[in-house]
Amino acid sequence: MSHIKLLDQNTINKIAAGEVIERPAAVVKELIENAIDAGANAITTEIKEGGISFIRITDNGNGILKEDIKTAFLRHATSKIKTVEDLLSVSSLGFRGEALASIAAVSQVELVTKTSNELTGIRYIIEGGEEKSYEEIGCPNGTTFLIRNLFYNTPARRKFLKSPNTEASMIGDLITRLSVSHPDISFKFINNNKIKLHTSGNGKLKDIVYNVYGRDISAHLLEVNGRTEEYEITGYIAKPIVTRGNRDYENYFINGRYVKSSIISRAIEDAFKPFIMLHRYPFAALHFRIDSDLIDVNVHPTKMELRFKNGNEMYHFTYSILSQILAGKELIPDVSLIE
């Protein structure tokens, strides 16, 4: 008798879910990114109990074709890339085809979706990776995912969750960042029946900064706008009088993707260094547009990390533009900076 057996799909998905879905905020991230990729311009997220018992995300995007619904929940099933070459020029936020399979493996999922070309939509229920029902229903165009009881079948993971309040605040932070990353999308966040955030989606980054961070910061913004042939940066930094004790207010997005990059953080902080005290961090909301062949986004399953082909160039581009802005503004009396 042999000892080595191939695991069944459901077990594989449960194990893999550990990589992509470690907490409710990760579910929200994956589902909102899917909604963005589907071209939605209004995305509503509703949670209860920190998202542990209830997450509902509704978008007005393309919807999923009837014949694609079951496939969408298979591991490595994606409509976004076809070959490994496509990875070099990927412009969607997703491409690994793992999120839906992972989420469905460790929760109870109800999907309602309809494309604009179909007259009716589908309500599909899948729990712990097992299909429960698939029925035709009338519904608006777009997609709603309802995720109940995350990790109900993997109690070990559930034990590692923080309190509902902490989980909810992580989701709030995430949606805030996503709304800053996409000023052209209206985001709504409802926690325990209370509206916590609602952005207009009018495309103006400045309005969102005001909406999310308030007057104290938005009154002190400096516009950032610079480009070379390969790199482009737009957005805002706040004058050095606005600082934080942590990096929570350093927001930057590369081709619409929220990422963490020590190179960009260092460039921002070095530019501010002459103006702010040690262990204080600036406010930034910066959008980078970079040729997709100059970055690699396929570094980590959560896609929060990325690699630059030329990190030095990226550093100097960012650093020089920000320090020019800060140096120039130093010469002008303070009041004129307040718009």
Shortest Cβ 138–ligand ADP spacing (Å): 18
With CA atoms as reference, report the closest residue to 254 among 298, 320, 219, 306. 306
Taking CA atoms, 250 is separated from 59, 179, 233, 247, 277, in Å, by 27, 14, 14, 5, 16
From the list 60, 78, 181, 251, which residue makes contact with ligand ADP (rule: CB under 6 A)? 78
List the single partner that 78 binds among ligand ADP, Mg ion, none, CB under 5 to 8 Å by kind: ligand ADP
The residues in 138-157 that bind ligand ADP, with binding defined as CB under 6 A, are 143
In this chain, which stretch among 44-52, 99-107, 168-176, 280-288 interacts with Mg ion, using CB under 5 A? 99-107
38 is a site residue for ligand ADP (CB under 6 A): yes
Question: Rule CB under 5 A: which of 26-85 touch Mg ion?
Answer: 34
Would you say 140 or 311 has its CB closer to ligand ADP?
140
Smallest distance, Å, CB 117 to ligand ADP?
A: 13
* 39 or 203: CB nearest ligand ADP: 39
122 binds Mg ion (CB under 5 A): no
* Contact with Mg ion (CB under 5 A) among 94, 164, 172, 256: 94
Q: How far is the CB of 87 from ligand ADP (least distance, A)?
A: 12
Q: Which of 110, 76, 111, 102 is nearest to 154 (CA)?
A: 102
Q: Should residue 94 be labelled a site residue for ligand ADP when binding is judged by CB under 6 A?
A: yes
Radius of gyration of the chain (CA): 21
Q: Which residues contact 201 (CB under 8 A, 6 or more apart)?
A: 41, 42, 183, 184, 185, 186, 187
Output the six-digit token pair for 117: 């070309």
Contact string 7-36 vs Mg ion (x = CB under 5 A) = ---------------------------x--
Dist CA 339 CA 325 (whole Å): 16
Stretches 14-22, 57-65, 269-277, 310-318: which one binds ligand ADP (CB under 6 A)? 57-65
Q: Which of 24, 26, 30, 167 binds ligand ADP (CB under 6 A)?
A: 30
Q: How far is the CB of 30 from Mg ion (least distance, A)?
A: 5
| Residue 244 in the binding site for ligand ADP (CB under 6 A) | no
Copy the structure tokens of residue 225.
Answer: 């706008």
**208 near ligand ADP (CB under 6 A):** no
70 vs 204 by CB, closer to ligand ADP = 70
Considering only 93-101, 106-114, 283-291, 330-338, which stretch makes contact with Mg ion by CB under 5 A? 93-101
Backbone angles phi, psi at 47, to 5 degrees: -130, 155
Looking at this protein, which amino acid is placed at residue 271? A
Task: Give the contact letters, 100-139, x = binds to ligand ADP (CB under 6 A), - = no.
Answer: x---------------------------------------
Residue where the block lists tokens 């002190």:
220
Q: Which residues here bind ligand ADP, judged by CB under 6 A?
A: 30, 34-35, 38, 59, 61-64, 72, 77-80, 94-100, 143
